[in-house]
Amino acid sequence: MTAQETLQVRVVKKQIEAEGIASYELARVDGAALPPFSAGSHIDVHLPGGLTRQYSLCNASHESHRYRIAVLRDAASRGGSVAMHDSVHEGDVIAISTPRNHFALHPAQHTLLLAGGIGVTPLLCMADRLARTGADFALHYCTRSAERTAFAAEIAASAIAPHAHFHFDAGAPEQKLDTAAVLAAPDPDKRLYVCGPAGFIDHVVTTAKALGWAQDHIHLEYFGAPAQDTSGDQGFEVRIASTGKVYTIAPDVSVVEALRVEGIDILTSCEQGVCGTCLTRVLEGEVDHRDMYLTDEEKAANEQFMPCCSRARSKLLVLDL
């Protein structure tokens, strides 16, 4: 597994977009065009203190002079959002990866975009792309209040406006999202994209499936993995295929952490099973999948896993390392 290409970019603009949310406009230090990207793409941002976090690109996908990301200051942050808000300023030079896309748009006669809070960022780029191509779509944007709604004025002044619907937790009952009504007519020619907090995504996906939406027409992206019940975790062993050496993984230690102590470094980024950076091939053994990256079909195939968070159901995993 090779690392993503790294680019040096300058923060040419930092702006408060809503309560607790700042946007960052990034341009190459050398003035050259940035690598192209498609709607739904994200980049890795290398932060002060050695942290790396993933942020969706929310500007128009045809732009090559800038990338724009937006970051919610999260009270439960593991350090990333706080570092972005407190330590990354206009004029700073930071390192980022080239874009990659695990949340791509698929052709459809009608597209539904459902955003929860900061989950609007990849969907904003999708909405722009759909509007520019004259596609039939709707964007439903759910936030706690108008004050916490990033890019509201921008959306209202854009070609997205006729397709956009705002829903505030603090607003009147009649304007709140009626998920069942919005998803009431599943069709082979419709696609659903949902992004936001885990609880929001789970509610939308559960509702969609109950109404008959096909799994392969529901596309989602988590910003953080939901909490796991680790009370019953057991130890297991990992064998490295290239050397034959076997290592014990304690109940309270991840595979990545245990192997790192032994001098075996697996490239990681989010360490929550969201980004896919540490994806590793499994040659033998049964995986206890805990990531939000692999599809249900990929998990059932048992051919790869995320060693940052997933564990073993069997006593031994043999890894292609």
Q: Encode pLDDT of 262-278 as tens digits.
A: 999 998 877 778 778 89
The CATH number that applies at residue 288 is 3.10.20.30
The yes-or-no verdict on residue 5 having pLDDT over 60 is yes
pLDDT grade, residue 230 (50/70/90)? Answer: confident
Q: What is the mean pLDDT of residues 145-159?
A: 97
Pick the last residue of a domain from 153, 187, 222: 222
Whole-number pLDDT of residue 3: 46
Whole-number pLDDT of residue 57: 97
| Same-domain pairing of 196 and 243 | no
The yes-or-no verdict on residue 162 having pLDDT over 60 is yes
Work out the mean pLDDT of the chain and round it to a whole number: 92
pLDDT grade, residue 221 (50/70/90)? Answer: confident
| Same-domain pairing of 305 and 261 | yes
| Same-domain pairing of 179 and 240 | no
248 - beta bridge partners?
A: 237
Structure tokens at 102: 């695990």
Q: Is residue 1 part of a domain?
A: no
| Same-domain pairing of 129 and 208 | yes
The CATH number that applies at residue 36 is 2.40.30.10
Q: 79's torsion region: left (phi>0), alpha (psi -120 to 50) or beta?
A: left
Q: Is residue 230 part of a domain?
A: no
The count of structural domains within the chain is 3
| Same-domain pairing of 157 and 201 | yes
- Cα torsion through 259, 4, 61, 121, rounded to 10: 30
| Same-domain pairing of 210 and 118 | yes
**Sheet of strand 137-143, all strands in order from the earlier edge strand to the far edge:** 164-168, 137-143, 110-116, 190-196, 218-222
Whole-number pLDDT of residue 64: 97
Whole-number pLDDT of residue 89: 96
Which three-class secondary structure state does DSSP give residue 13?
strand
**Range of lowest pLDDT (24-28, 72-76, 140-144, 148-152):** 72-76
Alpha-carbon distance of 168 to 52, in angstroms, equals 32
Q: Which is it for strands 137-143 and 110-116: parallel, antiparallel or unpaired?
A: parallel
Q: Is residue 164 part of a domain?
A: yes
The yes-or-no verdict on residue 71 having pLDDT over 90 is yes
Q: Is residue 75 part of a domain?
A: yes
What domain range includes position 298? 236-319
Element (DSSP H or E) covering residue 87: helix 80-87
Q: What is the mean pLDDT of residues 74-88?
A: 82
pLDDT grade, residue 284 (50/70/90)? Answer: very high
